[in-house]
């Protein structure tokens, strides 16, 4: 046993992604039935060739790419994000309201470190993103579950009931991880108003905004007067440009809050990855058409999931949510999902995550739920996935 170990860290569960990889250890997958890995949403391919060529050029020719940079990120990237996001959300965001982080997880932890302290509470919609729950646990912050209904949308009245004197923030993710659902703009406006009226922060994680199926503006929160006092927006460049290994994310918040975020970032990472930031900037300036093609492909896979699901539905499966990189489903078997998921690796060659990863301990619904991350399988792969799932009989 490791001693001494801080109690909050001891209470924090291990990363489900790391844990699930162990299920495949020692398992042989024949060539005619290779492992279908739908456990993680991160792109498995490298950035597009033009971006890799630009990264190579920077690595050789740009000396500044190898040096420390500003703690809150490159001014050019912050300005580009402010410009692009202002256009996308029909608002007026300024560069001093943007900070660059080492991925969206650090965006979340850096902001939350300015909002919640041990003993405080943060409301997370369940099914939740497990790293958000892990941060709460290891920070001594109580994660209060706002369990969504069958439509995977959070209930405003239930959220209002859960707010206590210790509540510091509510966290929403749209398009949702793990559920895939896209939150209606009217619902987001109501949650914003609730947070504003109750004096707490609304954290809006839009990591998957580039893959939203809607063409209209996803919300109008940046147009609210004084949004800086209530709203924090999070984003990741890992998905749109496949910059997973370069770790580039962003926070949009009040300039005053970012001054506090700067303390955290200076202590943890000193500055974001310089090459990654320059790559993200180049991507914003040159890859809009390529990203549009990536979005179209993801939306076609989403449609393939929806069109093909009746095959599973006939066997008792239920489609709870589908969008961005994710499908969230309910399975019909007596075997709980915490046992079914590792069983599927051995017996069906499918690696996915059980609902227990995303739900509070003891919630019986979780044992009937599974998350499928379909971003790394094409339409033929989706067909094969459904074929294998339709054949199982645990």
Residue 137 pLDDT more than 70? yes
For residue 366, the domain's CATH number is 3.90.1150.10
| pLDDT the model gives residue 2 | 67
C-alpha closest to that of 118 among 144, 142, 143, 141: 141
Question: Does 179 sit behind a cis peptide bond, omega within 30 degrees of 0 on the bond before it?
Answer: no
The answer on 228 and 190 residing in a single domain is: yes
Whether this model's pTM surpasses 0.85: yes
**Domains held by the chain: number:** 2
Q: What is the pLDDT of residues 307-340, one digit of tens each?
A: 999 999 999 999 999 999 999 999 999 999 999 9
The answer on 19 and 138 residing in a single domain is: no
Query: What is the rounded average pLDDT of the residues 233-251?
Result: 95
CB 128 within 8 A of CB 360: no
| pLDDT the model gives residue 206 | 98
| pLDDT the model gives residue 106 | 97
The whole-angstrom separation of Cα 274 and Cα 272 is: 6
The whole-angstrom separation of Cα 127 and Cα 206 is: 16
- Total residues belonging to the chain: 394
| pLDDT the model gives residue 95 | 98
The answer on 302 and 181 residing in a single domain is: no
351 occurs within a structural domain? yes
Residue 173 pLDDT more than 70? yes
Q: Which of 260, 287, 314 is the last residue of a domain?
A: 287
> pLDDT band at residue 46, thresholds of 50, 70 and 90?
very high
The answer on 187 and 147 residing in a single domain is: yes
Handedness of CA 351, 357, 359, 365 (dihedral sign): positive
What's the domain range around 357? Answer: 7-46+290-391
The whole-angstrom separation of Cα 354 and Cα 365 is: 11
Residue 303 pLDDT more than 80? yes
Q: What is the pLDDT of residues 68-126, one digit of tens each?
A: 999 999 999 999 999 999 999 999 999 999 999 999 999 999 999 999 999 999 999 99
The answer on 319 and 387 residing in a single domain is: yes
The whole-angstrom separation of Cα 348 and Cα 196 is: 48
C-alpha closest to that of 345 among 35, 115, 78, 85: 35
More confident residue, 21 or 1: 21
**Range list of β-strands (E), the chain:** 36-37, 98-101, 121-126, 142-147, 167-173, 201-205, 231-236, 249-252, 318-323, 326-330, 350-351, 353-354, 369-373
3-state secondary structure of 182: coil
1 occurs within a structural domain? no
Query: What is the rounded average pLDDT of the residues 183-196?
Result: 98
The answer on 302 and 185 residing in a single domain is: no
2 occurs within a structural domain? no
The whole-angstrom separation of Cα 193 and Cα 327 is: 29
Residue 394 pLDDT more than 80? no
Question: Does 178 sit behind a cis peptide bond, omega within 30 degrees of 0 on the bond before it?
Answer: yes
DSSP 191-210: HHHHHHHHT-EEEEE-TTGG
The answer on 108 and 245 residing in a single domain is: yes
Rounded-to-5 percentages of helix, strand, coil across the chain = 45, 15, 40
The answer on 362 and 238 residing in a single domain is: no
131's enclosing H/E stretch is: helix 130-138
Q: Which of 246, 270, 287 is the last residue of a domain?
A: 287
33 occurs within a structural domain? yes
Query: What is the rounded average pLDDT of the residues 158-185?
Result: 97
The whole-angstrom separation of Cα 66 and Cα 77 is: 17
Name which of 37-51, 186-200, 316-330 the model is least confident about.
37-51
> pLDDT band at residue 144, thresholds of 50, 70 and 90?
very high
The answer on 158 and 238 residing in a single domain is: yes
Q: Which of 221, 256, 287 is the last residue of a domain?
A: 287
DSSP 88-111: HTTS---GGGEEEESSHHHHHHHH
> pLDDT band at residue 385, thresholds of 50, 70 and 90?
very high
For residue 245, the domain's CATH number is 3.40.640.10
Find all residues with CB under 8 Å of 82, minimum gap 6, and list them: 93, 94, 95, 97, 98
The answer on 252 and 377 residing in a single domain is: no
The answer on 145 and 21 residing in a single domain is: no
247 occurs within a structural domain? yes
Average pLDDT of the chain, as a whole number: 95
26 occurs within a structural domain? yes
| pLDDT the model gives residue 18 | 86
- Token pair belonging to 60: 């050789």
Question: Does 175 sit behind a cis peptide bond, omega within 30 degrees of 0 on the bond before it?
Answer: yes
The answer on 130 and 119 residing in a single domain is: yes
């Amino acid at each position: 046993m490791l001693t001494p170990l801080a109690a909050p860290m001891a209470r924090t569960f291990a990363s489900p992604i790391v844990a699930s990889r162990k299920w495949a250890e020692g398992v042989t997958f024949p060539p005619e039935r290779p492992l279908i890995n739908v456990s993680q949403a991160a792109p498995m391919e490298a950035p597009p060739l033009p971006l890799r060529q630009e990264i190579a050029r920077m690595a050789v020719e740009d000396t500044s790419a190898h040096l420390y940079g500003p703690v809150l990120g490159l001014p050019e990237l912050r300005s580009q994000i402010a410009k692009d996001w202002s256009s996308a959300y029909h608002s007026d965001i300024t560069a001093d309201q943007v900070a660059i982080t080492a991925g969206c997880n650090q965006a979340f932890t850096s902001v939350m470190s300015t909002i919640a302290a041990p003993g405080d509470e943060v409301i997370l919609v369940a099914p939740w993103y497990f790293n958000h729950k892990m941060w709460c646990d290891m920070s001594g912050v109580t994660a209060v579950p706002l369990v969504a209904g069958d439509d995977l949308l959070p209930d405003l009245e239930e959220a209002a009931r859960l707010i206590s004197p210790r509540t510091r923030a509510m966290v929403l993710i749209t398009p949702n991880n793990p559920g895939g659902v896209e939150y209606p703009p009217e619902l987001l406006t109501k949650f914003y108003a609730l947070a504003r009226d109750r004096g707490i922060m609304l954290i809006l994680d839009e990591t998957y905004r580039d893959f939203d199926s809607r063409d209209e503006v996803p919300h109008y929160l940046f147009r609210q007067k004084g949004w800086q006092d209530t709203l924090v927006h999070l984003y990741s460049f890992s998905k749109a440009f496949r910059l997973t290994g370069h770790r580039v994310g962003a926070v949009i918040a009040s300039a005053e809050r970012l001054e506090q975020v700067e303390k955290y970032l200076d202590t943890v990472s000193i500055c974001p990855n310089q090459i990654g930031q320059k790559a993200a900037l180049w991507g914003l300036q040159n890859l809009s058409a390529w990203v549009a093609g990536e979005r179209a492909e993801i939306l076609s896979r989403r449609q393939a999931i929806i069109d093909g699901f009746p095959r599973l539905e006939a066997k008792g499966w239920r489609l709870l949510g589908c969008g961005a990189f994710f499908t969230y489903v309910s399975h019909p078997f007596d075997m709980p999902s915490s046992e079914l998921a590792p069983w599927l690796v051995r017996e069906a060659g499918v690696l996915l995550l059980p609902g227990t990863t995303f739900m509070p301990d003891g919630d019986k619904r979780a044992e009937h739920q599974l998350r499928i991350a379909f971003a790394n399988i094409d339409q033929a792969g989706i067909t094969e996935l459904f074929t294998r799932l339709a054949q199982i009989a645990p």
